[in-house]
Amino acid sequence: MRAPIKPIPPKPSQYGIDPSLVKTRIADLPGMTSVSLKELFPDLPEVIFPGENGLAKVRQAAEEALMKVDMSMIKPEHSVNVLASHHGFTLLGGEPYAELLKAIKDVIEKRTGCRDIRLRAGVGMRFRETEEYIKRYGLDTYYDGKAIGIAPVDQGIPIETEIGTLYGIKKVYDADWIVHAHHSDVREVHFHRQVDKAVKPFGMSYARIETRSTYHQNLGPRGANFVARAIFDSEFVQKKFAFAAFLNIAPNGVVGVDVDNDLYALNDRVTFTGCQYYGKIMTLFGEIDECIAALDFPCPVPYVFSAGVIYANFTGANTDLYDLDAPLPPYTWYTEAFYGKRGKPLLGDIPPVNPAIKMCVHNYAWTGYPSAFFAEQIPTVVVGQEQAELFNRDPLNLNYMDYATVIKSTEAAMNFAYRATGTRKVIIFDGAMGGINVSEPLAELLTRKAPAVSERVDNELLPKWLRQRGVDLSVLNN
Amino acid sequence: MKLVTLLAQVDTDKCKGCRTCERVCPVLAIKVVDRKAVVDPERCRGCANCEQRCPDYAVTMIKREKPLQVGVDVHEVNYDEVVALCAKAKLHPEQRICYCVGTRADEVAAAIIKGARTPEEVSLVTGARTGCTIECIQPILRLLEAAGCELKPPEGGWQWYGRTATAWDLPEAVKQKYSSRGFYFEEDRAVLDKLVEEGIKGGDA
């Protein structure tokens, strides 16, 4: 058995406990090992990061891609807003995304002579999160003091769309041109269902509360992401859109950089790789019969990563999240909304939260996302009173600890979980790069099941997923 | 129902009176008076928007000495009226509309029946939209509109701007144009319709 991969370290943040309080990482406990993703699925792409040349390869890929895109619309006297989102900074330590943002500024300057280039970094629900990243990665200095975090409660701007007025954040659009700087990581498949994933920030991190609420409350679980397309297609946004620059991500690392003036062409490529690469991992996770899920990553509860899959998606791995014929995943906000007062679903066909998760050990994860549903549905142990207190003080999580219990140390929490559940299978959501940190029995199960999963996705599921989304294989020729 | 445990506190030395806090407060609990922000502790519902958006880091959230319980008892109004109002707004009465506080549609409907006329009044009495303050604005606006309330945002504020499209009023042309791209508009509407029907059938809370 191979040694565990070094997890992403805890990070100082107002949304998490002080890193010094994270005394033990789950991966360091006895019986833990790792599985290489390339060994599980040999057809996963070769990656440039992590790799021996580190960020230099990301920089090189970004510059090469950015040199090929049309920037002729940007004149020296113009202003440009480079639009970023918080999630990119949680990928593979955050440095690759920060490097892309730096390269975008440099290449625009070099190719157009434009000097008024600003960074506008949107957030999820932690309104100061990107402020923290801007400082951590030196982006404020790099962007000559023109880098700011933006939030969905900031001043808005109405945008006329095909479905009526929606609302964007004013500071997103206060330049002559916008550049959409994002990535192809799938993250919230339960929300966007891999439909227009590349467009999503226009309806989310670049959008006001009214738009985001439209997504999560008004349109339904599979129509939701249309708000992003509606805004992007608006005359107002189209007049400002210059190009999109994406970090091309697979579960095992950064594959390259994809830059295009046509966001929908890029979107089709993102849809394909999102279904193919991540679909295999998620389908494999659905084969896990029983386990303890250990959260150990500097992110809110649902967003902690294992092999590029977030915990929220693992709670739905008992179903096929990519299958659009199934309306409601085991977890999404529409599903959560449809649980009644007696704790039962209000509709008969709502699937249960993944019953393979026998217990969740919350060793280290942040506040800033309403997470009570997870603790309500899955027995949850939180390590350390300080972490419990942090959740008790979070306006989004005042009820989380109503359902979770506190245990003083990581070791004691895991021992409790082993005894209470009777399983020794552990999956660790700690952002390990290139592989998955797991316990030995789970490593054996994943290795044994992967070949059949790969074949099933290639031959049966992937063609269906792409057909449902109107995407054909020719997108890869572009 | 919400147990309000936090309270905004302003450091007047840092406050420059920019009014950002005023514009983002969902219950209008903070106002700039004589160029300094002042918090009304009776109104503050502890959402931390002021603390999170203050450009001068002049606001901190402190623990209340005595937590404040807010909420509307749905049994204090005629529940048939609650069900009818929710149905008109295309919501199930037991549907959770605020994911942070856990507020359900029936509590918001009861608040409106008892006299709340704006999202700010709804948030004040129920605590809804005092967590993330993002996701539940539309169902609150839908319930207020269904009750015949005029939707008028706070003047000069950024609290909210307007109601937006729902699954029931998407243009036919849009549905036809994009249904082959993975947007299951009609199928989703059928799911939501079924939920509303279940709400009407269920009735009793």
**CA separation for the pair A165, A347 (Å, rounded):** 31
Share of chain A above pLDDT 90, in %: 98
Which residues 398-437 of A have a C-beta within 8 angstroms of B? 398-399
Which residues 327-356 of A have a C-beta within 8 angstroms of B? 327-328, 333, 336-341, 346-347
And the tokens for B136?
Answer: 């539940």
Which residues 42-81 of B have a C-beta within 8 angstroms of A? 46-49, 52-53, 61, 63
Q: What is the mean pLDDT of residues A296-303?
A: 98
Q: What is the mean pLDDT of residues A301-318?
A: 97
Instruction: Give residue A1's pLDDT.
Output: 82
Asked whether the beta carbons of A432 and A93 are under 8 A apart, the reply is no
Query: With an 8 Å Cβ cutoff, is B18 touching chain A?
Result: no
Contact A223 B185 (CB under 8 A): yes
Residue B106: count of CB within 10 angstroms of its CB: 26
Q: What is the ipTM of this complex?
A: 0.97
* pLDDT at A478 > cutoff 60: no
Instruction: Give residue A219's pLDDT.
Output: 97
Give B62's DSSP letter: E
For the segment B43-54, what is each residue's pLDDT rounded down to a tens digit?
Answer: 999 999 999 999
Which residues 220-249 of A have a C-beta within 8 angstroms of B? 220-223, 225-226, 229
Contact B96 A209 (CB under 8 A): no
Which residues 446-475 of A have a C-beta within 8 angstroms of B? 468-470
For the segment A138-167, what is each residue's pLDDT rounded down to a tens digit?
Answer: 999 999 999 999 999 999 999 999 999 999
Instruction: Give residue A477's pLDDT.
Output: 61
And the tokens for B160?
Answer: 């909210």
pLDDT band at A472 (very low <50, low <70, confident <90, very high): confident
Instruction: Give residue A59's pLDDT.
Output: 98
Instruction: Give residue B203's pLDDT.
Output: 47
> Residues A52, A55, A58, A62: is their CA dihedral positive or negative?
negative
Q: Which among A162, A213, A333 has CB closest to B137?
A: A213
Residue B168: count of CB within 10 angstroms of its CB: 12
- CA A320, distance to chain mean position in Å, is 18
Give A352's DSSP letter: P
Which residue stretches of A234-392 are H helix?
Answer: 235-238, 263-273, 279-285, 311-314, 333-337, 372-377, 385-392
Asked whether the beta carbons of A244 and A228 are under 8 A apart, the reply is no
Shortest Cα–Cα distance, B195 to chain A (Å): 7
Instruction: Give residue B205's pLDDT.
Output: 41
Question: Is the overall model pTM greater than 0.95, yes or no?
Answer: yes
Please, what is the average pLDDT of chain A? 97
Query: With an 8 Å Cβ cutoff, is A127 touching chain B?
Result: yes
- Residue listed under structure tokens 């008004």: A218
**CA separation for the pair A139, A160 (Å, rounded):** 32
Contact B183 A209 (CB under 8 A): no
Which residues 133-172 of B have a C-beta within 8 angstroms of A? 133-139, 142, 158-167, 169-171
What residue type is A83 in one-letter code? Answer: L
Q: Which of B68-72, B179-183, B201-205 has the lowest mean pLDDT?
A: B201-205
Contact B137 A166 (CB under 8 A): no
* pLDDT at B204 > cutoff 90: no
Shortest Cα–Cα distance, A79 to chain B (Å): 23
Angle between helices B105-113 and B137-146 (to 10 degrees): 40
Query: With an 8 Å Cβ cutoff, is A158 touching chain B?
Result: yes
And the tokens for A376?
Answer: 């309500």
- From residue A316, alpha-carbon distances to A219, A313, A322, A440 in Å are 21, 5, 11, 23
Query: With an 8 Å Cβ cutoff, is A214 touching chain B?
Result: yes
Query: With an 8 Å Cβ cutoff, is B102 touching chain A?
Result: yes
Asked whether the beta carbons of A454 and A280 are under 8 A apart, the reply is yes
For the segment A397-447, what is each residue's pLDDT rounded down to a tens digit?
Answer: 999 999 999 999 999 999 999 999 999 999 999 999 999 999 999 999 999
